[in-house]
Amino acid sequence: MLTIVRLDDATIEPAGALVASEHAEARRAHPGLPATFDRPEACTAALQRLREGGHTGVAAVERGRPLAVMTGIARGSHARMPAEGFAVAPDLEDPTTVLARLYGELAPELVAAGVLRHYLDHAVLRPLDAALSNLGFGRHHVYASQAAAPRSSAAGVRVRVGGVDDLGVVARLALVEIRFRATPPIYAPPEPRSLEEVLDHHRALHHGGATHLLATLDGRDVGLLTIELTSPAPRLCADGEPYIGPTATDPDARGRGVGRALVDTALGWAHAHCYRWVSVDFEAANPLSRPFWLGNGFRPIGYGVLRTIDARALELSGPGGGLTRGASAGVGGCAYPPAVPSK
């Protein structure tokens, strides 16, 4: 019989072993995933860090065997369910029923906290896409990677590493990307950040060790690619390996090889610094990003999915803050989770 248990001192090690088993299966098809999470002890430690950080966790167990684990935390206007705290036994052909039981246990706590946008990361595995879709989650963005290697670049585009004196240019180009994400068909909520706020953000990235690549065409700075070494999803894009952060091309320079030159330089930079993989994430709804990153050799290794609960679900919260057992919540359209980095 399938039972749902809390993630605690007694269940965390079997749950960690489950995450490692799923990760090893996913990495056989997608070697760009970090090898660290093949080890049960590393996965158990990651789950423990989530617990210590305030995440609630639940696991599905059948005849003593863990079949799935899910963790989540309410942060501001949305909930995060990270990939290092989510896994399904890789031999389950259709994990919909198991995930429905888990989400049915975890979601009421998130709703009771007033959080109606539930965002989940997962590694690319065939059964998960359909199962999460069955639960009302829609794909929001894609994590992708490719091997670091030197590549020849487009003629006429010069790429340099930006310094402190270039941060004004970096901020100007980054603001182009931020504003573009509010346009159709992406419809990300407009971010009311000023140029000075964006400049402060990139100054902090630079001081933290990020590398800003700037592309020049016809004597003008028209392209930006930011290389960071801290990943927003450590199970999908390893910390300490190059992760592509904010990128942008001036609209007047699009279609002239600027983005390709920046990617070529980033892959060569990573190879020269003895890194193996370069990762990126991008919005699935972005009509420029998806064909660009896939066309430049990046392959999906993970997805971020989002479910927005109907606000009327708040009315079902009982005195203890949870949904009535067995009650179901309506599903609204997808909305952009502001804390999720994407291109």
CA angle 195, 201, 206 (to 5 degrees): 120
Question: Do residues 103 and 26 both lie within one domain?
Answer: yes
Give the residues of the chain that fall short of pLDDT 50: 319-341
Residue 262 lies in domain? 149-275
The pLDDT score that the predictor gives to residue 321 is 41
53-to-43, 57, 218, 287 alpha-carbon distances in Å: 15, 12, 49, 36
Query: What would the pLDDT profile of 249-286 be if each residue is shown by its tens digit?
Result: 999 999 999 999 999 999 999 999 999 999 999 999 99
Question: Do residues 69 and 89 both lie within one domain?
Answer: yes
Question: Do residues 46 and 124 both lie within one domain?
Answer: yes
Question: Do residues 159 and 32 both lie within one domain?
Answer: no
Residue 327 lies in a domain: no
Query: What would the pLDDT profile of 21-71 be if each residue is shown by its tens digit?
Result: 999 999 999 999 999 999 999 999 999 999 999 999 999 999 999 999 999
87-to-50, 80, 119, 260 alpha-carbon distances in Å: 14, 15, 15, 35
Residue 321 lies in a domain: no
- Tell me the C-alpha distance between 76 and 338, whole Å: 10
CB 56 within 8 A of CB 76: no
Distance of CA 133 to the CA centre of its chain: 17
Distance of CA 112 to the CA centre of its chain: 25
Question: Do residues 154 and 137 both lie within one domain?
Answer: no
The pLDDT score that the predictor gives to residue 91 is 95
